[in-house]
């Protein structure tokens, strides 16, 4: 009897086959779990629903959220929003061009997901994102510089407004938004990643939009809080502006 064998079976071979079976089961499980969102598939050609079939879609699982809400997924509910875009060519997979106002079309860099119309909460139940006038236990570090009162310069080199407040992430202790007071007396939020602060000139340059386009930034239902849906729409608006604020931006460089 050969050493390393059990009942004339190679131990290494048994371990290898066991690994193959385990890995195949793991891939099957992960592929089922990642289908809890984004299904059913819709055919680009005729708009019909294409489901992968019951073998590939997992049974609905209940997820209990922190606020006690229970969500089940997958729901297999299609996105009923109108597609504000048209294909530039008839073949499948052709690029889409927004129809109407490209900043509000909700496609391409301006696309956003459907999220709850409630603010994200901290573990203690406070609004996760809040302005410094509400989150009074936060302050700007003196050595970092405070941009309050700085002039906002848009892509067309015109002044769009002034920084009136800073919105922080209470859990991460990070700056998330600048609040800009426009000349029209309304205020809008600007994600920090779209802003370039110059402390020497006391300006905040935001090249994603022209000065006049700040009036179209999605408004807040509550001036002291921002919902998860509003966050997505605001970020999407500036994302759309990065490509569509001027006609020249959507054209090739060469």
Among residues 79, 78, 99, which one has the least CA distance to residue 87?
99
> What is the model's pTM?
0.83
Is the dihedral angle over the CA atoms 246, 250, 251, 252 positive or is it negative? positive
The better pLDDT of the pair 251, 242 is held by 242
DSSP 3-state of 14: helix
Chain center to CA of 145: 28
pLDDT score at 192: 96
Question: Residue 124 pLDDT > 80, yes or no?
Answer: yes
The C-alpha torsion from 229 through 230 and 231 to 232, rounded to 10°, is 60
Q: Which sequence spans correspond to the domains of the chain?
A: 108-250
Q: Considering only the C-alpha atoms of the chain, give the largest distance between any 2 of them, rounded to a whole number of Å.
A: 91
Identify the band that residue 112 occupies on the pLDDT scale cut at 50, 70 and 90. very high
The pLDDT tens digits for 61-88 are: 999 988 788 988 888 777 788 889 998 8
Rounded to an integer, the average pLDDT of 7-30 is 90
Question: Which option is the CATH number for 108-250: 3.90.50.10, 3.30.70.1450, 3.90.100.10, 3.40.50.300?
Answer: 3.90.50.10
The residue with greater pLDDT, 10 or 40, is 10
Q: Of all residues in the chain, what percent carry a pLDDT higher than 70?
A: 91
Confidence band of 204 (pLDDT split at 50, 70, 90): very high
Q: How many CA atoms lie within 13 A of 143 on its CB side?
A: 0
72 φ, ψ to 5°? -115, 140
Give the number of C-alpha atoms closer than 13 A to the C-alpha of residue 121, restricted to the C-beta side. 11
How many helices (H) and strands (E) the chain has is answered by: 2, 15
For residue 165, the cross-strand partners are 179
Q: What is the pLDDT of residues 205-218, one digit of tens each?
A: 999 999 999 999 99
Q: What is the pLDDT of residues 127-185, one digit of tens each?
A: 999 999 999 999 998 887 899 999 999 999 999 999 999 999 999 999 999 999 998 88
């Amino acid at each position: 009897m050969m050493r390393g064998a059990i009942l004339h079976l190679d131990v290494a071979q048994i371990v290898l086959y066991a690994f193959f079976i385990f890995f195949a089961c793991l891939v099957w499980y992960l592929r089922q779990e990642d289908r809890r969102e984004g299904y059913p598939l819709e055919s680009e050609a005729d708009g019909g629903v294409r489901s992968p079939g019951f073998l590939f879609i997992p049974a609905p699982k209940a997820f209990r959220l922190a606020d006690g809400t229970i969500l089940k997924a997958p729901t297999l509910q299609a996105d009923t929003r109108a597609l504000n875009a048209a294909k530039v060519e008839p073949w499948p997979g052709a690029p889409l061009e927004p129809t109407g106002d490209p900043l509000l079309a909700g496609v391409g860099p301006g696309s956003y997901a459907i999220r709850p119309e409630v603010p994200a909460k901290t573990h203690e139940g406070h609004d996760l994102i809040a302005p410094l006038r509400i989150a009074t236990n936060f302050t700007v570090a003196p050595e970092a510089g405070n941009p309050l009162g700085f002039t906002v310069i848009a892509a067309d080199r015109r002044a769009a407004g002034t920084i009136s407040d800073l919105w922080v992430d209470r859990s991460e202790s990070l700056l998330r938004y600048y609040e800009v007071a426009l000349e029209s007396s309304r205020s809008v939020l600007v994600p920090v990643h779209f802003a370039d602060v110059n402390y020497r000139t006391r300006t905040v340059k935001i090249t994603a939009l022209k000065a006049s386009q700040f009036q179209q930034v999605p408004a807040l239902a509550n001036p002291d809080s921002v919902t998860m849906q509003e966050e997505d729409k605001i970020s999407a608006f500036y994302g759309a502006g990065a490509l569509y604020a001027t006609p020249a931006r959507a054209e090739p460089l060469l």
